[in-house]
Amino acid sequence: MGFTYICTRMKFDDYRLSKEVKKNLGDMDFRRPTDIQYKCIPPIQRGEDLLAIAQTGTGKTAAFAIPVIDKIQQIKYKSKNKSSVIRSIVMVPTRELAQQITQVFNRIGKNTKVKALCVFGGVDQDHQINKLIEGMDIIVSTPGRMFDLVSQGYLKLDRIETLILDEADQMLDLGFAKDIDDLVKKLPRRRQTLFFSATINKKIKAQAYKMVSSKAIRIQISPKDPVSKNVNHQVAFVEIDDKRFFLQRIIQENEGEKILVFVRTKVRAERVKKAMERAQIDTLTIHGDKEQQDRDIALLAFKTGACSVLIATDVTARGIDIDGVEMVINYDLPEISENYVHRVGRTGRGRKKGRAISFCAKEERDYLSAIEKFITVPIARASVTKREYEETVEYSDDGANNWQKLIQESSSKTRNKSK
């Protein structure tokens, strides 16, 4: 995985980090810090509070994981008592994101004796309890299960030194503001607070300033257009009842590519899956009504390529960090404009290029306007003539009308006009 670098001289080898952490970063192909990592690591190492705004795909998980692991490793090295106590807690909105962040902590913390545990609901808690009894240094958790374990006395918060809120904007959107406030009441007053969000507005500012100190460092890595430059994203005007035909055609013309399809509701996800089944296209779904085991199986199948099309809802959008997603399709436009950025940000990650196409029905024009206002630039229109539209609805895969070529031609025309 690679990112845009801001410093040609500074390497992770130049940082005050242990040899174990440096080796792990090298094994992960992390040579130089990204913008957000470069700006976050030093103040976190100094123990300062932080309010950081950064779009998806910028490497922000490592921006807090690296210094937190470093601090705990140093404490354990200097202490006579080498046993683990929970010193850091990361609160996140979804199970998938919790798992993803825990994996990053454990990869960076390999052989450091710093142990991270992922805690979430929807699964039996016995394994999590046994791990807590064994001793952990870092907890990455969703709100529900965390409070269950606190109330049962298994999760001790009295030694917490660093609180991290990741994807704070989504947590507030999902109604977790009270959970955040309740957590803060249970933590030591003298602690470091790191507040990470992909977007910023009055509500997020109010929550952040309640939690961080008045001397908190504010960092904002957000270009005018929050959509990654690596993503060629366009919108096609398609009526609600015709979307399935366009989806079928794109999948068939990009056979074998990893395609992530976003829909608005859980019910819609299952309906789209059935529509693709009728076209003999194999897909999997992931949403809040799925059992955790089923969600894990679906993600694994998508990651390994056993199934190349995954249909998801927004709740899972930010937790899906899968290498090699070549295309994102917004089958439905999101009601919350920020989610557009998170959806299309699942492709074009690191140095790789990605494509995203959104279907917009008449009923969704207001959503499109809101999205374009949020990202501050118009989304390129994929030109679909009446004949092409009719051919797609009556689609038969004879290869004569390549929809992908149509998108590329439209993109080329848009670039030529801009010149």
pLDDT above 70 for 271: yes
Which pLDDT score, from 0 to 100, does residue 3 have?
A: 41
pLDDT at 417 over 70: no
- Say if residue 270's pLDDT is above 50: yes
Mean pLDDT of 78-99: 87
**Which residues, at least 6 apart from 189, have a Cβ–Cβ distance to it below 8 Å?**
none
Average pLDDT over the chain, rounded to an integer:
86
The whole-angstrom separation of Cα 228 and Cα 34 is 14
- 72, 138 contact by CB (below 8 A): yes
Rounded Cα–Cα distance for residues 215 and 79 (Å): 29
Contact 312, 284 (CB under 8 A): no
Threshold 0.75, pTM exceeds: no
Rounded to whole angstroms, how far apart are CA atoms 96 and 286? 10
Q: Can you tell me which residue has the tokens 């149509």?
A: 406
- pLDDT band at 371; cut points 50, 70, 90: very high
For residue range 295-326, list pLDDT tens digits in order.
Answer: 889 988 998 999 999 999 987 666 567 888 99
Q: What is the full DSSP assignment across 17-84? A: --HHHHHHHHHTT--S-BHHHHHHHHHHHTT--EEEEE-TTS-HHHHHHHHHHHHHHHHHHH-S----
What pLDDT sits at residue 71? 95
The CATH superfamily label for domain 231-412 reads P-loop containing nucleotide triphosphate hydrolases (3.40.50.300)
List the single range of 81-95, 204-218, 361-375, 405-419 with lowest mean pLDDT. 405-419
Residue 350: C-alpha distances to residues 108, 312, 365, 392 (Å): 18, 22, 31, 33
For residue 326, give the nearest of 244, 242, 415, 258 by alpha carbon: 258
Domain ranges of the chain: 12-221, 231-412
Instruction: Compute the distance between CA of residue 97 and CA of residue 95 in angstroms, rounded to an integer.
Output: 5
Helix (H) or strand (E) holding 236: strand 231-237
Nearest to 143 by CA among 181, 115, 106: 181
CA distance 149 to 13: 39
- The fold of the 12-221 domain, in CATH, is Rossmann fold (3.40.50)
Q: Are 12-221 and 231-412 in the same CATH fold?
A: yes
CA nearest to 149, candidates 166, 130, 163 = 130
